[in-house]
Amino acid sequence: MGFVTADSQQSTYDVIVVGSGAGGGQAAYSLCMDGAKVLMLEAGRKYIPESEAAMFQTPDMAPLAAAGTPDKPFGFYDATVDGGWQVPGEPYVRATEDPAGRFEWWRARMLGGRTNHWGRNSLRNGPYDFKPYSRDGLGFDWPIGYEDVAPYYDKVELLVGVYGSNEGMENTPNSAPGCLLPPPAPIVSDYAIAKGAKRLGIPLIPLHRAVLTRPLDHRRNPARLHPGNPRAQQLAAAAMRTRAPCLWATPCGRGCAVRANYQSTTVHLPPALESGNLDITTDAMVYEVTLGPDGRASGVSFVDRTTGKQRHARARVVVLAASACESVRILLNSKSAQFPQGLANSSGKLGRYLMDTVGTSVGGQIPLLESLPPLNEEGADSLQLYTPWWLYQEQLAGKLGFARGYHIEPQGGKRMPRFDTLGGIEWLTGGSYGAKFKEDARRYYGSFVGFDGRGEMIPNEHSYCEIDPAVKDKWGIPVLRFHWQWSEHELRQAAHMQRTFGDIISEMGGRTSTPVETDGAKAIAPGGSIIHEVGGAIMGADAKKSVTNRWSQTWDVPNLYLADGAVFASNADKNPTLTIMALAWRTADHILERMRRREL
């Protein structure tokens, strides 16, 4: 087994997994390690970070000094070799272009999906996050609680490697002993931010992030991951030994050839392939789940993008992990006499309750950080510290005017200079040239800080996707049309973020680079633009109000599962990917158990 074409696939498999990102990678890994024969179908091309990641290239080696362009918005060297805000030949439709109702959809089309360049911030949902309705009467409770997912958070952290610390803060869970790697040291700007924030009662603690600060414990972790399964332990240990700790020198968004950070392509897929239980077909664009006469999923139909031909693959179980909206699209397009509104849509809830993360940012300049001597303080190419939501009690007491919280991602320090570094500093210099400009550049380099807010959105009836009746992609597959609306809760939350960030910058003795925005509707980033889209096939306790049950198994088709963010019943401020992986592992265990009992 290994990489196969549509022609060299086996006639049938135990499980088909659609998509190879965080959810698909985790599901395939967990299934293969326990002996299931899996076919992974991935729409994008094969991608090998070890040989393709542009880790050490400098900006001067690329066109336009590696600056972002419409087709490479995160810069020339970004790991997303195919995909982005637009995917050629694969449009989608927005019901409106009005900023208030606009939805933006980032898609990766490559092996490993978005995990090749994601930010790697890996926060656990807390107990409140699984029961939000019980707390404030808004949105939905999940049919599971933190205690159901906690063992899987532990496993994912032990497997992928997450740095951080246990701080015991409210609704910010500790990991089990030995799960976390030590966090990196804070950098100079972190100390300055933490000092200013502390005076305002705002805590900063080490972020949890999927980057190895030291090698994984290949002697102990495998036994915790795969108890009673020596073969899986051996494979996991061997894979862990191939991963080097972080060099702290290269931009993670370009991918990591030394496997120091988590990408599905460097962490999940190699041991799954090594198990001999995984076949992967790339360039396989799945468009339909097919049904057998017994009403069960019989397999999937896909377009072989190398030939343009329509093909079919068979399995006992189908797991969709094509990313939340894409999995919904496949189901909505899987119409039959039995399911005229799309497969697994007897509730009418398929496509409903799309959520993203509330986002807004404020930047500023801090005189205290000017003219610092050059220091080796690149940090973690992202964040060392962050602020978890710290106002749970005030919010519960109704003092804030909005219902859900946000965390803060503070930025600072000196990164590798780019051609646009220190562009637009006229607001500080008044406009300088020649030697004076160089002097100013040295003075201000490293004195800027920024704050990104990442907040919870409450699911609502007006944020959903459906199949557009007219538009099709280049393969003839009908595309999605998105509808979006924020509620007052999100808008007020965004305004609160702005005020808070402005206050921290002032407290640090600095100035914001743009005025603090008091109007949440102007401050909030468009729906989808934080790239944390989840929902669309939410899990629930009632088959009439949800698409899947507590195992991410569709209510309507017992051998059809989802393993991406589509099943999220709420979208806590915590970035979603660690939860996607934990749920995917839990679902895989459920499938394995049911296959053992011959129920699937």
Ligand X SMILES: Cc1cc2nc3c(=O)[nH]c(=O)nc-3n(C[C@H](O)[C@H](O)[C@H](O)COP(=O)(O)OP(=O)(O)OC[C@H]3O[C@@H](n4cnc5c(N)ncnc54)[C@H](O)[C@@H]3O)c2cc1C
Could you tell which of ligand SF4, ligand X, none binds residue 252, using a CB distance below 5 to 8 A set by kind?
Answer: ligand SF4
Quick check: 576 binds ligand X (CB under 6 A)?
yes
Shortest separation between residue 99's beta carbon and ligand SF4, angstroms: 34
Contact 571, 582 (CB under 8 A): no
- What tokens appear for 267 in the block? 């962490």
Of the candidate spans 108-116, 199-207, 384-392, 397-405, the one that interacts with ligand X by CB under 6 A turns out to be 108-116
What 3 state SS string does 30-47 have?
A: HHHHCCCCEEEECCCECC
Site for ligand X in 545-564 (CB under 6 A): 564
Site for ligand SF4 in 29-58 (CB under 6 A): 55
Distance from C-alpha of 118 to C-alpha of 280, rounded to nearest angstrom = 22
DSSP assignment of 362-427 equals EEEE-GGGTTPPP----TTSS-SEEB----HHHHHTT-SSSS--EEEEEE-S-PPP-TTTTTT-HH
Quick check: 364 binds ligand X (CB under 6 A)?
no
Contact 272, 2 (CB under 8 A): no
Nearest residue to 500 via CA among 350, 374, 342, 394: 394
Could you tell which of ligand X, ligand SF4, none binds residue 565, using a CB distance below 5 to 8 A set by kind?
Answer: ligand X
Quick check: 78 binds ligand SF4 (CB under 6 A)?
no
* 239 vs 537 by CB, closer to ligand SF4: 239
* 118 vs 451 by CB, closer to ligand SF4: 118
Q: What is the CA radius of gyration of the chain?
A: 24
Quick check: 270 binds ligand X (CB under 6 A)?
no
Quick check: 23 binds ligand X (CB under 6 A)?
yes
Position among 22, 258, 362, 572 found at the interface with ligand SF4 (CB under 6 A): 258
Please, where are the H alpha helices in 137-220?
Answer: 146-160, 188-199
Shortest separation between residue 381's beta carbon and ligand SF4, angstroms: 4
Could you tell which of ligand X, ligand SF4, none binds residue 24, using a CB distance below 5 to 8 A set by kind?
Answer: ligand X
Measured distance between the N- and C-terminal CA atoms of the chain, rounded to whole angstroms:
23
Distance from C-alpha of 483 to C-alpha of 98, rounded to nearest angstrom = 11
Give the dihedral of Cα atoms 429, 434, 440, 446; nearest 10 deg: 120
Distance from C-alpha of 505 to C-alpha of 511, rounded to nearest angstrom = 6
Could you tell which of ligand SF4, ligand X, none binds residue 211, using a CB distance below 5 to 8 A set by kind?
Answer: ligand SF4
* 42 vs 104 by CB, closer to ligand X: 42
* 248 vs 437 by CB, closer to ligand SF4: 248
Distance from C-alpha of 563 to C-alpha of 21, rounded to nearest angstrom = 10
Shortest separation between residue 240's beta carbon and ligand X, angstroms: 22
Helix (H, G, I), strand (E, B) or coil at 108: strand
Quick check: 286 binds ligand X (CB under 6 A)?
yes
- Could you tell me the maximum CA-CA distance found in the chain, to the nearest angstrom? 78
Q: How many residues bind ligand SF4 (CB under 6 A)?
A: 12
Could you tell which of ligand SF4, ligand X, none binds residue 85, using a CB distance below 5 to 8 A set by kind?
Answer: none
DSSP tag of 581: H
Shortest separation between residue 563's beta carbon and ligand X, angstroms: 8
Quick check: 375 binds ligand SF4 (CB under 6 A)?
no
Please, where are the H alpha helices in 187-275?
Answer: 188-199, 221-225, 230-241, 269-274
Report the interface residues with ligand SF4, using CB under 6 A: 55, 211, 246-248, 250, 252, 256, 258, 260-261, 381
Report the interface residues with ligand X, using CB under 6 A: 18-24, 41-44, 106, 108-110, 113-115, 117-121, 284-286, 321-323, 326, 330, 531-532, 564-565, 575-577, 580
